[in-house]
Every structure is written in C-alpha cells, then in structure tokens.
Structure 1
C-alpha cells in the first residue's frame, strides 16, 4: 500500500493502543490538534481523552508524569514536540528514567517510550533544528532509535513498548511527508540491529535517520564513477550494532560516517573511534566524516543547506577515501 512516514507512525500508535490497554499517548497538542506534525491526527476521536492526553506546556512536568505512569504499570508514549524542548526535561530523562533501575538495585523498570522530532533542513532556525540524538546515546540506561524508512517508522514502536527500559525514538522532521510502498502486513521490527541498505565493496558509508536517502543517492552517483559504496543504516544508536559496522569495514577497508549532528563529540566520532579500535589494520585510509558545520543552524535557506551534510560532500569524502579525491 502507498503511505507516508507520518501515516506509518500513526498506524504504529493506533496498533499499539489497540493491542494493549496499558498504552496511552501524551504530549503537547497530540489530541484535538492532532499533533504538531499531524502524526496523531484523528486518534482522539478514535480512542478518547483518557488515552490521547493533551498536556500543559511543561516538558519536565509531563515527562515526569509519564515516568510515574510507567512505574505504575502503564505503557506511556510521551511525545516531545521537538528535540530542543527535550532539554527542558533532561533531568527527568537522565536522572530518573535512565537511572531508576540502577538506583533501585534492579527493583523498578521504567517501560516508557519518548518520541520526538529531530533534525534541520526546514528553515526552523537555531532553536528548532538540532540533531541531539548523539547526546542521548551517551547515557546508559536508554535505548536510542532513529527510524529512517517506512518499515521502521511502522514497526519500531511496538517493539520499543515491549522493552522494559526507556526508549527514545528520534523522527527526522524532513521524513514525515515522504511517501512510498509499505507491505499491508508490515509489523514489529528488530530494534537492535543496523541494516545494510545497499551492498558494496569499495567504501562503507555509515549513516542513520534523515540523511539515509541522501547517502543512498550519493552512492548511486558514486556507482556511475565506478565506486561501489556500501550503505549502512545504523537504526539504533544505543546500543550500536558494532558487528555490522565492523563487518562492512572489514569488507570495504574504507569508511565515511555521515551524521547531521555537529562534528565535535558526535555519534560519528563514536563510530569512527570504534572502527579505529577494532578494525584499524583493516583500514586502507583514514575514516572520513561528514557532519554539520559547527555553528547554530542558520535560518536562511542557502546558509542552512551550506551548513548541513550534502551529497556533494559525501561524494568528496568517499572519493578521497578510495584515492580519487
């Protein structure tokens, strides 16, 4: 069937609400308004206000309420409008959701799912264009998901709700209108493995989320130049699927990591470090990285595009890795 990323997410939420009475959705404008990005449109009429709950504009407050509900046996899906707003609840996410199992000596799990929009490219300026999923991947006790495909948008949520620990799902804002074919029987998917989206033999292009399609397009352009690029979709940033990354690099002997986050302290730095630690002698060239410029994301379209990873920059990095730069 034809669908969009937005509709796939909505179907995943609907199915979860139907399958488990403990599941409910809460967040700013998720009810009558249908969600800031229209993901929850129509769900209030279908499930009622007890299960589709609009919250006050207080991230720390409603994230804390969600954690309490999870501790009480519910399975909350907490929508945080954009990733920058999650910083207002960072204490709740890091010091409570991620830590309670450890601090209670293993007595209390926090089975909660946080959904939030991430990424730039939509002229939302410096306050609403962050890619901070790498920050959250730094925190033990959290599981970090970055669905880039319709199948993952549709299938990751139910699997996440079965996890006894907190799961954060980062949805790149540019993906919501993206359309494509999705199997009628599409259902839950694995949330621990990376995926080889395009096999290749000359260089590994490692990415996730909103940059995946751009990297696949770059790989097609490289193929026209006789460079066979393998594209790895990380899918899960914590825990990282190190085995898939290393298997790819062992085959191609070259790697470029593409990450919309800032270069310093980024997930690309972590992936690069693990390749160097565990596959150094397999490398025929230094690990390349393509990241966003180290500036607050500009509002002006031309400046914003210049600050973000692009296919041209991926092409240049890949060609340099294979000695054709």
Structure 2
C-alpha cells in the first residue's frame, strides 16, 4: 500500500475514535447536579380548632437523589413527628400536624430544619368546642320589654349536653329577676327561662338596659335587653313634661302668646283625663293649650299651676310647675 494512502486510512480511523462515545456514558442532568436544600414549609390551614389536625408540606429546591430526612419541631399544643422524609426522586412530602384541645385561642409555630436551613409556619388554635364540657355560647332575649311584663329567654350551649348541666344566670338590675340556676337536660343544647320585670308601686321607671348573663365555669354569654316604662293608665304619682313655648306678640298692648304642650308619661285611662280644662281622651298622652302673658317675662321663666283629674273625679296631680319660654325672633 502506498505510504500516502496508509496515512489517509490511519487518519480516518483516529478521527472516528475521537468522535465515537460509548453508549453507556451519559451527561449529568441539572436535577442530578442539584444538591437539595430546604425551600419552604407550608400549612394547609393556618387556623384550626383545638383538637383537630391539618397537614404541612415540606418542599426542597430540587428532586432528592436519595431518601432525605428533614427535622421537625412544634410549639406546645401542636404535635409533629421528629422527622419527615422526602423520597428519592421527589421534591416534596406532607406530614400530619395534630393539635391539642384548648379553652383559649392560642398561636404556635411549626419548624422544619435541613442542613442548617430553617423554615417556619404559624398555626393558630381556636377554642375547642365542648372542651372540657359544654359551655354557654349565646343568650336570646327580646330586644325590649315593658316594666311589669315577663320575657322568655333561651340559653344555648356550644354542643349537646351528654349529661344534665347547670348554668348560672344573673341579672344586672334588681328590677329584673331570673332564676339563679338553669338546668339543661342531657341530649339538649338549649333551655328557656323567664325574666320577670317589676314596676314601681308609684311613679314610673325610665327606660333602662339590663344584662342577663349565663355562666358555666369560666365561660359566659350575655344579652342586653331594654326595659321600657310599664303600659298602664296615668295615675297619682306619675309625672309629666312640658315644652318650652315660643311667645309671639299679640296685638300692640304688650301681650304675648304661645302654645304649651303637656305630655304624660302614661296614657289616659278609661274616660280620659281633664288637664287644666283640656281633655286628654283615653289612650292619649298629651294636650296643648294656648297661653297668654302680659309682657314677656324678664327671666324667661313662667310658673303655672296644673291640675289633672280622672273621669271619676279623683285628683291625680295638683301642683305648681315652672317652664322656660323663648321670645319669638323679630322680623326683618
């Protein structure tokens, strides 16, 4: 073989040997080259009722080349395993996070640690229903009641009572009485009670608010109810109010005139009432009368006399009273 041809054949063989790569040799992938680090720790729910559970997800920065342990830790009242493992070829894993029952709302943390990298998540535990026993959650009452009437209320527990339970009831006013103890029988969540209001023997009570509270252990629920003046006819000892009349000139000789409105705190009874000669019909609460004064009072105050008589001739009010008057604004 000529030498030139031999050199050409040898060069081709060497070139082929350089570019040929055995089939068993592969180029490392980006995943294989990654060294997993702890990326995040997330909770499926950030708030749970005490005694229930949620899940946490641990995520690495890339797929694990081998089974990889991640250390876990949790605050008091929250339970997690000491370690969780990310399987080979995976980048995430989940773990169950359990909580203990609680009587108060509390906040804690779950922590994951891998190769000195720490990730944290906050978990809030709300009050555990029915723990350790059912407690009152609400008190139902009407928005208002008139003095002398009885209102029906209801106490509701946070769950069904397994055995009969006693709930304490209190009233913030001596004018409203409730039973000291209310029993909720086994198998029920509610029980009703009576709130009895009193009315004074004379006069009338102004409207006021009363708070009815139901308590068991350290838990309580309350409701505010308004007590309005009793519904009954006007009687001796009851009161009245008057307006502040505006007096306008009447003629040119110094007389002034206005309208006085007298309002009773209870309606007139059967047959009505005579109020200084004016009649308030049954069920009515006010009357108006025209008043005259010679010259405007210098101190803007007027003293008058009021007599109120019922249909049988009984004098219910017989007294002097003073009211304020105002001068009518002068025209342009």
TM range (shorter): under 0.3
Bigger radius of gyration among the two = 2
Structure with the bigger percentage of helix: 1
Structure with the bigger percentage of strand: 2
Q: TM-score, normalised by structure 2?
A: 0.21
RCO higher in 1 or 2 (8 Å CA, sep ≥ 6)?
A: 1
